[in-house]
Amino acid sequence: MGNWSSKPDVKTQELETPWRTVTWGKAKKDSLIEDMRKIQPCTKNLKCLRMIVVGPAGSGKSSFINSVNNAFQGRITSNALSDAIESGKSFTKKYCEFEIKTGNLKLSTFFNDMMGLEIESNKGCHPEDIFKAINGFMKNGHMFNPEKPISPEDPDYNKNPDLSDETYGMVYVLAAERIKLAEDAILKLRNIREKVSMTWGLPQIIVITNVDQACPLVQKNVQKIYLSKKIREKMEWCSGSLGVPMCHVFPVKNYHEEIETNDDMDVLILQAFKQIMELANDHLEIRIKNKDNQNVKEKQPKSK
């Protein structure tokens, strides 16, 4: 009898044509950066466009933030500390904001890194802390307490948040090679997403990291990411599990062993970042218009 390999043939994991069209290389990377520099805030009262990053412990949240910075700066950075040890415990202990430096872009963009979600109910980031952060009640540097969410009695509680303290978009980060191992955390994310959608209507995208560890095809060549059956299956699973449309799901390869940046990796990273930037700015514009309309109604004389 012949020998049977437990690993599927790489060729059987490759589609005949890519199901998403991507232009690769430095020219495309530069074009994405230039497009983002043209994004303008819809109000002068906004100091920064803030987005929060949420996901299971060890999913690569901090590494994704660093990877976005790497793509813009053309070098390896480590502003957001990440952990190379996969312990299942969150390495992020503080609520930290990270400015994404985008050259001459007038709109300052901040990512706020949340503590990772863990399987146990009293471990990891408390969902109420995420909701408080969305409203701008959590100050930069707040130390997370999984058993007790931030309250008005805490010194890090921002009692008078302004527009720049609030959140305008959410990024869910999931690790491709162990997505289904974190189903309890996924359930937490699903509940969080439902409340965020119904209460604030925030735009939300999914970033799937570690695609190279989940698919040998992509490990050899990142340009084959949209030819990979495995990656598409994982994207569809994430979309169905969280209820986020496929057009808002982005697979990326975070920087973790590289010592120099790679244009093709940067294209994937910047496509995800551009999407959430545009959606967040759109959301802000809608909020400002709704607020202006409400102010007009309140000023109108009441009919007798």
Q: Which domains does the chain have, with CATH numbers?
A: 46-282 (3.40.50.300)
Where does the pLDDT of residue 10 fall: very low under 50, low under 70, confident under 90, or very high at 90 and above?
low
Closest to 176 (Cα-Cα) out of 257, 70, 64, 76? 64
- Residue 284, classed as helix, strand or coil, is helix
Exposed/middle/buried for 72, CB within 10 Å: 0-12, 13-18, 19+? buried
Q: What's the whole-model pTM score? A: 0.88
Mean pLDDT value of segment 100-114 = 73
Q: Which DSSP helix (H) or strand (E) runs through 96?
A: strand 96-100
Please check the confidence at residue 216 and state whether its pLDDT lies above 50: yes
72 beta partners: none
CA 64 → CA 36, 95, 164, distances in Å? Answer: 18, 16, 22
CB 115 within 8 A of CB 92: yes
Mean pLDDT value of segment 110-119 = 88
Q: Quick one: tokens of 61?
A: 């949240």
Please check the confidence at residue 208 and state whether its pLDDT lies above 90: yes
Question: What per-residue confidence (pLDDT) applies to 23?
Answer: 96
AA identity, residue 112: N
Separation of alpha carbons 151 and 128, rounded Å: 10
Question: What per-residue confidence (pLDDT) applies to 90?
Answer: 56
Where does the pLDDT of residue 165 fall: very low under 50, low under 70, confident under 90, or very high at 90 and above?
very high
CB 138 within 8 A of CB 22: no
Closest to 268 (Cα-Cα) out of 61, 34, 29? 29
Q: Is 46 or 301 the better-scoring residue by pLDDT?
A: 46
Question: What per-residue confidence (pLDDT) applies to 111?
Answer: 92
Where does the pLDDT of residue 2 fall: very low under 50, low under 70, confident under 90, or very high at 90 and above?
very low
* Angle, alpha carbons 188-280-291 (nearest 5°): 105
Q: Quick one: tokens of 120?
A: 């146990």
Mean pLDDT value of segment 28-55 = 85
Q: Which DSSP helix (H) or strand (E) runs through 52?
A: strand 48-54
Separation of alpha carbons 250 and 231, rounded Å: 10
Question: What per-residue confidence (pLDDT) applies to 295?
Answer: 58
